[in-house]
Structure 1
Amino acid sequence: MAAALLALALGGCAPVIQFRSQDKAGTNEPAPPTEMITEQLITVERQQHQDVANQGLDELLVPNPAPYAIGSGDVLSIVVWDHPELAGTAVNASPGAPDPSGANAAPPGFVVDHLGRIQFPLIGLVPVEGLTEEEARAVLTKKLSRYLAGPNVTLRVQSYRSKRVYIDGEVKAPGLQAINDIPMTLVEALNRAGGLLPTADQSRIVLERSQQRYRVNLRDLVQKGINPGLVMLKPGDVVRVQSRDESKIFVSGEVITPKALTMHDGRLTLNEALGESGGISPLSGDARQVYVVRKTSGRTRVFRLDAREASSLALAEAFELQPKDIVYVAATPLANWNRNLSLLIPGALTSAVSATTRP
């Protein structure tokens, strides 16, 4: 009987695994269909990935950024030559007792109030919010010309305090970054934050603007010949550089070393995942049943590769994994039979092998 069971296990066909899931009520849902990994499937998956990566990217690319516009809270330095009596002072100090520490003191100059105006001698309140330095200088010159003959005005932003972006995640110095006269591109903001840490995932940079969320893949932009310096930030933007640890692939089943793998800047192929796990176990792994389980919005997808075919290596190298994918290698029928029998009758496999080899 033991010999017959062993022969049946060795000659049987490998069953295909059926992956089932449960809904919130705990009832079993129908098993998702298994999709064979083919060249056609890889082409479709690659195109869908490109469409998602490029979604909304045109809104972020600004080849010719506009000059800095003065905003509420900025401090302006204004000099009217030959009229030192019109020099600005720290006009934004709160009334009352002075601050001995000086922590809240602003540099001397003309502070743009919450309505976008400055208080200037002779001419009173002057709206400057939304104007460039050149435009604000022209407005002041025109108004002063009513009281002064040929006024020579110099105006510049002394302290940039109205526009900021926030950098978070895997950078050396996360925090607020003030937008100044240098255009605040994504690359500029990352450099001001000290650059990316070694744990940063350059393929998963999230930019949140108002109610919109954009995913920026720096590696993909460079490969397409798009300058990342064209990605322009706006005031209030939040940039988060995600960690590589958030983009892991899980390899389990009949491989030499089951483990969680970190993607290489957003890229890891099925072939690389199997290779970094030591490959399929020659003793118990079924090369006909290499699965990739992927949770997408609304459903679970299951991909299958038959690694015995001649083209399987090329297909595995071309099939790119996504974060949180699970690579699973099924066991051979003999391995399953051995494990089940060992649970029921310890030592039964040794007896069966001895029975078949006994003279």
Structure 2
Amino acid sequence: MPQNSLITTGLKLARWPALAIATAWLAGCAYAPGLSMGQNLAADAQRQTAGTEQDAPPPGALLSITADLLRQQRASLPTDIGQGVKSLFGEAAPYTIGPGDVLNIVVWDHPELAIAAAASSSTADVSSLTAVGNGYNVSPNGLIQFPYVGQIQLGGMTEFQARDLLTKRLAKYIKDPQVTVRIQAYRSGRVYIDGEVRIPGLQPINDLPMTLPEALNRAGGLTASADRSRIAISRNGSTTAINLLQLSALGINPNHILLRRGDLLHVHNRDESKVFVMGEVTRPLAQPLRNGRLTLNEALGEAGGLNATSGDPRQIYVVRSAAKEQAKIYHLDASAPMAYALAEGFELQSHDVVYVDPVPLVRWNRVISLILPSAQAVNVTRDAAN
């Protein structure tokens, strides 16, 4: 290469470090690497080039966390449980015999009417059959077969109604019959319970009312990871969400919720409802809600608070997105300690993103850390050319 060309190339390369640093300085923190919300989103959006204007929030999406905002949120809290939960309310009624149930029927002083236990060579089998006694299976149509009486419809009756009917029918053949009817095995109605319970599975509906607390108790109670604010009951193709804490706050006894045959009860895991704390905090993390509740203060506390060297307390944001609505961004200026009282009253929702911006000096330092290696590479190339 001619010597004049080498000199020209060296001069051009020598100007590169200064040019790169000057460009980065003029750009400032707006082009710092990593996610950044900016000190004033609306103003930043106007100053950005056309290629970055798409990052600006839609009009009205940026909301300041103030005492007025907290009052509006508290006023919007539901004061009623809704029609969906009310539709699950019911009054306990006596158990009625249904298909699949096994009945134990005794006609006193008439052992010939009792079903004899089958013979067995095993002592254990004999004892188990003796415990079963004379069981009559109820057919899908609610019928049983009984001596003298033949087929008799007992489905839909209570134990006492079935006893009275059998006594009336047997009176034609036996003088003053003394009959006892009891349900030996409850098999006509079941509720399936799964999720965060200790003993998931099928629970039969028996003579005790199958209320929501009764069903949870039969399943061994809730596990440590259960979300008491997210219990779902599926019935007839529709699912209703139940918040036990909301019921308690409204003074409603959950025993009013009565389960029916075929209901599915599911208890959600609290890890399914999380908020994400990111940015300049000590420990970025995904924090689950505590039974449906978590304040901004609690989320920041779980993350170890703001990073003392890089976090900007004036720039704390909560990004909240909804399926059918535009995302909203809530901004908290916590430069004054009193602002954390507002953070304590700000309720987070599932899948909120809490983000803390870095201070401008940190963002500038990150820009420099990317530029200097390139500048050093240019200097090495220039020295090699010389």
TM-score normalised by length of structure 2: 0.74
Q: What is aligned with 2:268?
A: 242
Q: Are 2:216 and 1:190 aligned?
A: yes
For 2:88, give the aligned amino acid.
L
> Shift of the alpha carbon at 1:286?
2.5
8 Å Cα contact 1:53-1:215 kept in structure 2: no
8 Å Cα contact 2:103-2:185 kept in structure 1: yes
Provide, for residues 103-135 of structure 1, a one-character-per-residue CA deviation record: whole Å limited to 9, x for no partner: xx9944111101111111212221222211122
- Structure 1 distance, partners of 2:169, 2:106, is 14
Q: Are 2:40 and 1:15 aligned?
A: yes
Equivalent residue in structure 2 for 1:36, among 64, 84, 99: 64
> Shift of the alpha carbon at 1:155?
0.6
State the secondary structure of the residue aligned to 2:160.
Answer: helix
1:121–1:186 CA distance, 2 compared to 1 (3 A):
same
> Shift of the alpha carbon at 1:37?
2.4
Q: Are 2:193 and 1:160 aligned?
A: no
Q: What is aligned with 1:334?
A: 361
Report which stretch shifted further, 234-243 or 311-320: 311-320
Provide, for residues 114-171 of structure 1, a one-character-per-residue CA deviation record: whole Å limited to 9, x for no partner: 1111111212221222211122222222222333333221111000011111111111
8 Å Cα contact 1:90-1:110 kept in structure 2: no
State the secondary structure of the residue aligned to 1:165.
Answer: strand
Q: What is aligned with 1:118?
A: 144
For 2:164, give the aligned amino acid.
A
- Structure 1 distance, partners of 2:92, 2:320, is 41
Q: Are 2:276 and 1:276 aligned?
A: no
Q: Could you tell me which runs of 5 or more consecutive residues in structure 2 were left unpaired when the two chains were aligned.
A: 1-17, 30-37, 46-53, 119-124, 376-386
8 Å Cα contact 1:67-1:181 kept in structure 2: yes
> Shift of the alpha carbon at 1:321?
1.1
- Structure 1 distance, partners of 2:109, 2:88, is 45
1:332–1:65 CA distance, 2 compared to 1 (3 A):
same
State the secondary structure of the residue aligned to 1:328.
Answer: strand
- Structure 2 distance, partners of 1:245, 1:14, is 33
State the secondary structure of the residue aligned to 2:216.
Answer: helix
> Shift of the alpha carbon at 1:55?
5.0
1:152–1:269 CA distance, 2 compared to 1 (3 A):
same
8 Å Cα contact 2:24-2:367 kept in structure 1: no
Q: Are 2:190 and 1:181 aligned?
A: no
1:117–1:254 CA distance, 2 compared to 1 (3 A):
same
8 Å Cα contact 1:89-1:109 kept in structure 2: no
- Structure 2 distance, partners of 1:46, 1:134, is 53
Larger-gyration structure (1/2): 2
Q: What is aligned with 1:354?
A: none
- Structure 1 distance, partners of 2:83, 2:346, is 22
Report which stretch shifted further, 32-41 or 108-117: 32-41
- Structure 1 distance, partners of 2:136, 2:296, is 61
- Structure 2 distance, partners of 1:271, 1:298, is 28
1:303–1:263 CA distance, 2 compared to 1 (3 A):
same
For 1:164, give the aligned amino acid.
R
Q: What is aligned with 1:57?
A: 85
Report which stretch shifted further, 305-314 or 120-129: 305-314
Equivalent residue in structure 2 for 1:67, among 86, 94, 109: 94
- Structure 2 distance, partners of 1:333, 1:29, is 19
Q: Are 2:167 and 1:141 aligned?
A: yes
1:45–1:138 CA distance, 2 compared to 1 (3 A):
farther
> Shift of the alpha carbon at 1:345?
2.7
State the secondary structure of the residue aligned to 2:223.
Answer: coil
> Shift of the alpha carbon at 1:198?
1.3
For 2:197, give the aligned amino acid.
V
1:166–1:121 CA distance, 2 compared to 1 (3 A):
same
Q: Which one has a larger percent helix, Structure 1 or Structure 2? A: 2
Report which stretch shifted further, 321-330 or 146-155: 146-155
